[in-house]
Chain A
Amino acid sequence: MAEPFLTVTGLTRRFDVSKPWLNRVLEREGRQFLTATADVSFSINKGETFALVGESGSGKSTIAKMIVGLLTPSAGQIAIEGQGIDPADPIAMRALRRRMQMIFQDPFASLNPRWRVGDIIAEPIRTLGLMPRGDVGREVGRLLDLVGLSAADASKFPHEFSGGQRQRIAIARALSSRPEFIVCDEPTSALDVSVQAQILNLMRDLQDEFKLTYLLISHDLSVVRHMSNRIGVLYLGRLVEVADAKRLFHEPQHPYTRMLLDAVPDLALSGRRRKSVSGEIPNPISPPAGCAFHPRCPQVKAECKAAVPVLCATPTGRAACVFAGGAPASIP
């Protein structure tokens, strides 16, 4: 198998959520840490869409931010084509930033309202010095065309566009540095379904045209199913299952994945009774010992409470559950 494009190993991020120093002294409390991501490892092959799903607080966005360098990991490595990323090395980071871009959830917040659309899209080209000044205008027009807007829109401001059109602008900006890899953090959750369909179709067309690699972050399982080749399921900062997208939906290995799938409302009216799930995501500051899912798990056993299960090979990928069986898996 070819070398994966992106490899993430043991990625961990802790946030210090302690009270101020004086309060800690007076109330005799120690420092408190919130572990947003714990020991996450996965890899993404060139040209594929890898999706991360999970509920709020599961660490999806933290992982995305660490990959593009907006947050530094507390532990673990990120490597692109086998080369480790060092967030402390500004020159190497700058070269990498051209190769990876990000699309954010809320197109109302991710575009500067005081900039014209043309300048927004041209910024990566200008900052990275990718082409002579004279050509930038033409390039912006071409990018706008590509995402289904018109070249004349370059002189408008973001407020003149609807949510879906703004997300197209955000995509054009992401494409302007000709990246190979785009991190899409909930690209359609702020949009209506009919507009979501337009954006998802556009993202697929662009992927085919430019051989893009996507990391798609979403909480919507049906979007993920539609878009991705492989899926990673996160629960409370840990990867509980990684599997081939098609098989994950038919043969979920981890009880949490099964629970998530059961919870999705059924549009096909197959008469499937949705199983109601018990409990909610625990507080990430004091997660349960052992498998973080054990208080909600229908199959919980004594050993689940003792140790965090490791990712084991399953017929469809890897899963971190004592029931998934098999030997501990190496990274895919």
Chain B
Amino acid sequence: MTKPLLSVRDLVVEFPTRRGTLRALDGVSFDIAPGEVLGMVGESGAGKSITGAAIIGLIEPPGRIAGGEVWLGDTRIDQLAPEAMRRLRGRRIGMVFQDPLTSLNPLYTIAQQLIETIRTHMDVSEKVARGRAVALLDRVGIPAAARRIDDYPHHFSGGMRQRVVIALALAAEPELVIADEPTTALDVSVQAQIIDVLKEICAERGAAVMLITHDMGVIAETADRVAVLYAGRMAEIGPVRDVILAARHPYTAGLMGSIPTLQHAADRLVQIPGAMPRLDAIPAGCAFNPRCPQVMDRCLSARPGLKPVAPNHAAACWLADTGVTHG
């Protein structure tokens, strides 16, 4: 296997509160290869966005990385000084956030924002930067880019703004793009366009993508591999096809079953009873044990580690050893 571009090892993120320390991420490990799209799914509060924020060093204090390592290529980035981290953001790691309106500054034109980003990271003249910015906007599918570049963000619709944000994230040609729910705020017809643009451009420039979303449909179409998070822990990680069609963790199987599909009408949806535990009340053993249909004695006391179940495919379940697949 090629050397991973991003390597996250046993990442632990904690939030100290008056009532004790909450572990938002508990020993999460994964790799992303160059040019690969890794999907990250889970319910709200599972730790998807925290993982992204931890990688680029944007955890809000008092939250902190309490353990583990994050490597970008040969650089360890979880302990970088704020100034070094700032230079890395945008240059080597680009970000696309959920809401395009809050990630663009309403007081500056698109041109100013793009040119500033390009010139911060690359030693080019204003004119060259502007030419680059127009080419980028053109590439992300903004019609009449040369004219529209001097517009303000409010002149653009939601889908167009998200294209601008993608252009901004890719301006300095980063090796990794972290996209946190890039299409959640958009309509379905526009969603498809944005995902296509993101995927195409990243493939064309060889950038790896960490795609954080709760929409399994988007993952199924876009990602190469998918990681399923539950209560701050990795439940399962593997190639998209294997995880969706032959899940090895009962939570993944439940999650898949609970999604209504267009293909066949089921009378009832599979439902996982209960809800994800709050961070201050994660049960002993496997965090999923109160909701698991196949819970055993062992699950109540011992926490299963992430174990390989097939090539490239790992699950954190005591049943995974026995070769049981779900779904």
Interface residues of A (CB under 8 A from B): 55-56, 162-165, 192-198, 200-201, 204, 219, 221-223, 225-226, 246, 249, 259-270, 274-278, 280-281
Contacts and interface: CB of A to CB of B under 8 A. Distances in A.
A260 B188 contact: yes
B259 to A, nearest CB: 5
Interface of B: 43-44, 157, 159-160, 187-193, 195-196, 214-218, 220-221, 240-241, 244-245, 254-263, 265-266, 268-273, 275
B259 A193 contact: yes
B220 A269 contact: yes
Contacts of B196: 274, 276
A201 B216 contact: no
Dominant SS at the A interface?
Answer: helix
B273 to A, nearest CB: 8
B163 to A, nearest CB: 11
B189 A55 contact: yes
Nearest to B45: A192
Contacts of A275: 192
Given A261-B262, A267-B259, A192 B43 contact: yes
B262 to A, nearest CB: 5
Given A193-B216, A193-B255, A164 B189 contact: no
Nearest to B245: A269
Given A260-B188, A263-B192, A274-B192, A197 B271 contact: yes
Given A55-B187, A269-B241, A249 B262 contact: yes
Contacts of B193: 276-278
A259 B258 contact: no
A280 B265 CA distance: 30
Given A193-B43, A195-B275, A225-B260, A219 B187 contact: yes
- The winner among B191, B221, B245, B257 for most chain A CB atoms within 10 A is B221
Nearest to A148: B273
A52 to B, nearest CB: 15
Contact of A222 (B187, B190, B244, B262): B262
| Shortest 7 CB-CB contacts between residues of A and residues of B | A265-B217, A197-B258, A226-B260, A55-B187, A192-B43, A197-B269, A222-B260
B255 A55 contact: no
B321 to A, nearest CB: 25
B258 A222 contact: no
Contacts of B160: 280
B262 A201 contact: no
A268 B195 CA distance: 18
Given A194-B254, A274-B221, A164 B275 contact: yes
